[in-house]
Structure 1
Amino acid sequence: MKVVAAYLLAALSGKASPTSADIKAILGSVGCETDDSQIELLLKELSGKDLCDVIASGREKLASVPSGGGVAMASAPSAGGGGGAAPAAEAKKEEKKEEKEESDDDMGFSLFE
């Protein structure tokens, strides 16, 4: 990943096609060790390609990957008029009781003793 980041930094600095020396110079400036095989593989894969096109095609591929950010909300149907809020209030009370039970106050440990 650091090789790709160094390549992108070299490209942002104005180099149309960064070389292995450019990538090594960037990585060396921050004290990273370089792996010549990874650099050469990246340069081989990106040779003759426009960086903007490569990034655009990567975005298209990532758009199809599920990110797991959606949360499914399951709710029980309410039995009538205004009775829907009561179960929610009871659930909040139960959560507060559980938090007190899990407290470390009774264990006898203190940072200041």
Structure 2
Amino acid sequence: MKYLAAYLLLNAAGKTPSVESITEVVAASGAEVDASQIEALLAKLDGKSVEELIAAGNEKLSSVPVGGAAPAAGAAAGSSEAAAEEAEEEEAEESDDDMGFGLFD
């Protein structure tokens, strides 16, 4: 991932990513560098533009199902909010019921 990030940073800066330039970027961040992994990355990305790679990634992400657990969590949060509102209403009703009279007045 760090090599891909360096590749994208170099590309955004208008420089042609190479083993040496990616090594410099990664080493500047303080991370260890493995030249064989950089070479493998460059071999996989050879002949492809960043725009093509992003489009392919977006296409893959569009097929990932999302939102399965979120509504359940949202419903639970909504029900707890409703319960809190009901408790506040009950407290308000109780305070109205006693109208300032104590139990032993």
Q: Offset at 1:66?
A: 1.8
Instruction: Say if 2:5 is the partner of 1:5.
Output: yes
Which residue type is aligned with residue 54 of structure 1?
Answer: L
Give the gaps of 5 or more residues in structure 2: 76-80, 88-105
Residue 54 of structure 1 is matched in structure 2 by 53
Residue 17 of structure 2 is matched in structure 1 by 18
Residue 41 of structure 1 is matched in structure 2 by 40
Count of aligned pairs between the two proteins: 78
TM-score (norm 2): 0.64
Q: Offset at 1:70?
A: 3.7
**3-state SS of 2:24 partner:** helix
Give the gaps of 5 or more residues in structure 1: 75-87, 94-113
Q: Which moved more, 1:60-69 or 1:30-39?
A: 60-69
2: CA distance between counterparts of 1:5 and 1:27? Answer: 9
Cα RMSD between the aligned structures? 2.2
Answer 1 or 2: which has greater helix percent: 2
- Residues 1-113 of structure 1 mapped to structure 2, 5 A cutoff: 1-15=1-15, 17-68=16-67, 70-72=70-72, 91-92=83-84, 93=87
Structure with higher Rg: it is 2
Q: Offset at 1:67?
A: 2.9
Q: Offset at 1:40?
A: 1.1
Which residue type is aligned with residue 36 of structure 1?
Answer: A
Residue deviations 1:16-68 (CA, integer Å, cap 9, x gap): x4101010010111211111222111101000111111111111111111233
Percent identity at matched positions? 47
4+ runs of 1 displaced by more than 4 Å? none
Which residue type is aligned with residue 10 of structure 2?
Answer: A
